[in-house]
Amino acid sequence: MDNLDRARLLLADHPVVDGHNDLPWALREQVGYDLDARDIAVDQSTALHTDIPRLRAGGVGAQFWSVYVSTELTGDAAVSATLEQIDVVAELLARHPADLRRALTADDMERARAEGRIASLMGAEGGHSINNSLGTLRALYTLGVRYMTLTHNDNTDWADSATDAPGVGGLSEFGREVVREMNRVGMLVDLSHVAATTMRDALATSVAPVIFSHSSARAVCDHPRNIPDDVLRMLAANGGVAMATFVPKFVLPEAVEWTLAADRNMREHGLHHLDTTPAAMRVHADFEAAHPRPVATVATIADHLGHLREMAGIDHIGIGGDYDGTAFLPAGLEDVSGYPNLIAELLSRGWSDADLAKLTWQNAVRVLRDAEAVSRELSAVRGPSHATIEALDGPAV
């Protein structure tokens, strides 16, 4: 039996829990949530990285669906869009009950595995989704959101992002209260996208395990979206899980440099680097023709997982591909059917069956179960926080 066959057998017993998939936003942007136009019961490979047949082929047993909204949406508009994202996840579950099962707890994840269905959880991506309101945070939890990334690409009023200029210097006092309230209700604190200062502040504040839903190792690829070694050691002490992402510009040093050059070329043509108009795409295509894009591989991701394991330990790593949230992906991991290729690569590097069961399933389930236990303890001794950002951080400047 070759390693790919072994990988598929292993995934049949301990399927992948993937920490981050942007299918809901792709459905919003591509077809305005018209699920007939993007029926994930059948192959959608011309438009999406994700559909049910490929999730099945990839050995996915649980998915955190991101209910991300752009940071261009602020205030009430961000909250409304987040609710729309939650709504489309509910619609997906209602349309595909034989394949997708709503999951709110670790026990739900195990039930889904026993039933042969894909446990479907939700994660909010960016604290802008709560509009500085702990009541809104609790409402998202009630609606099924089980993690929140503290920032996306831009700072919030209370937390610094990895890809924005320093603001409050990590977490403000209100930001710490957000973390404490997430611990109390049982919502996982997600530190992907946040500045290293925010990572350290959150780890110093949280009494429950935290996650990185889609981040890799900064020592392997020096990008601010990745996790420094000292934070990985803190994560192990915290009991959390770092879920390696597949995005080439975060995992391959050559791709980091290429992306910076491509973005600079767009600016030199008077265009925003995220512009997808036909004129902008022609400029980008001309650049790529002259400067071929470096390609990450399955081995690239295995290198990151090896380093995450070395720094944090086998009990503190997982997978968060970021499918349908990026234009490019590594060779061999082009869509959600590719996970067996990664497991086969790790087998070739000497990872044991027990190691891989932790990576794919057990660690993620355990971290949610531990957060639930902390929530029960905290809820027994204190009620909801009604603190405001104005009271804790002072009036907005």
Q: Is residue 277 part of a domain?
A: yes
pLDDT of residue 278: 80
Indicate the number of domains in the chain: 2
Query: Distance (Å, rounded) from C-alpha 194 to C-alpha 205?
Result: 15
Catalytic residue (one of 14, 214, 307, 316): 214
Q: Is residue 342 part of a domain?
A: yes
Q: Is residue 394 part of a domain?
A: no
The answer to whether residue 334 is catalytic is: no
Catalytic residue (one of 18, 99, 303, 322): 322
Residues 159, 274 share a domain = no
Catalytic residue (one of 22, 108, 181, 393): 22
Residues 239, 119 share a domain = yes
Side chain identity, residue 236? A
Last residue of one domain, picked from the residues 294, 325, 360 = 294
Residues 266, 139 share a domain = no
Catalytic residue (one of 18, 51, 108, 125): 125
Q: Is residue 281 part of a domain?
A: yes
Determine phi and psi for 137, rounding to 5 degrees.
-55, -50
Residues 290, 185 share a domain = no
Q: Is residue 397 part of a domain?
A: no
- Residue 382: both structure tokens together: 């204190």
Q: Is residue 395 part of a domain?
A: no
Catalytic residue (one of 14, 96, 128, 152): 152
Query: Distance (Å, rounded) from C-alpha 187 to C-alpha 237?
Result: 19
Residues 190, 101 share a domain = yes
Residues 284, 198 share a domain = no
Cβ–Cβ under 8 Å, residues 138 and 360: no
Residues 360, 280 share a domain = no
Residues 244, 352 share a domain = yes
The answer to whether residue 390 is catalytic is: no
Q: Is residue 321 part of a domain?
A: yes
Catalytic residue (one of 193, 284, 304, 307): 193
Q: Is residue 396 part of a domain?
A: no
The answer to whether residue 91 is catalytic is: no
Residues of the domain holding 322: 3-252+297-389
The answer to whether residue 20 is catalytic is: yes
pLDDT of residue 273: 82
Residues 282, 166 share a domain = no
Q: How many CA atoms lie within 13 A of 202 on its CB side?
A: 36
Total residue count of the chain as it appears in this document: 397
The answer to whether residue 96 is catalytic is: no
Query: Distance (Å, rounded) from C-alpha 111 to C-alpha 101?
Result: 9
Question: Which residue blocks in the chain are alpha helix, DSSP H?
Answer: 3-13, 23-31, 52-57, 75-95, 106-115, 134-142, 173-185, 196-205, 229-238, 248-251, 253-268, 278-290, 298-312, 339-348, 353-357, 363-379, 389-393
The answer to whether residue 316 is catalytic is: no
Q: How many CA atoms lie within 13 A of 126 on its CB side?
A: 25
Catalytic residue (one of 20, 128, 284, 304): 20
Q: Which CATH number is 27's domain given? A: 3.20.20.140
Per-residue pLDDT of the chain (397 residues; tens, 9 = 90+): 899 999 999 999 999 999 999 999 999 999 999 999 999 999 999 999 999 999 999 999 999 999 999 999 999 999 999 999 999 999 999 999 999 999 999 999 999 999 999 999 999 999 999 999 999 999 999 999 999 999 999 999 999 999 999 999 999 999 999 999 999 999 999 999 999 999 999 999 999 999 999 999 999 999 999 999 999 999 999 999 999 999 999 999 999 999 999 999 999 999 988 776 788 889 989 999 999 999 999 999 999 999 999 999 999 999 999 999 998 899 999 999 999 999 999 999 999 999 999 999 999 999 999 999 999 999 999 999 999 999 999 987 6
The answer to whether residue 322 is catalytic is: yes
Residues 179, 285 share a domain = no
Query: Distance (Å, rounded) from C-alpha 328 to C-alpha 246?
Result: 9
Residues 82, 169 share a domain = yes
Residues 195, 163 share a domain = yes
pLDDT of residue 87: 99
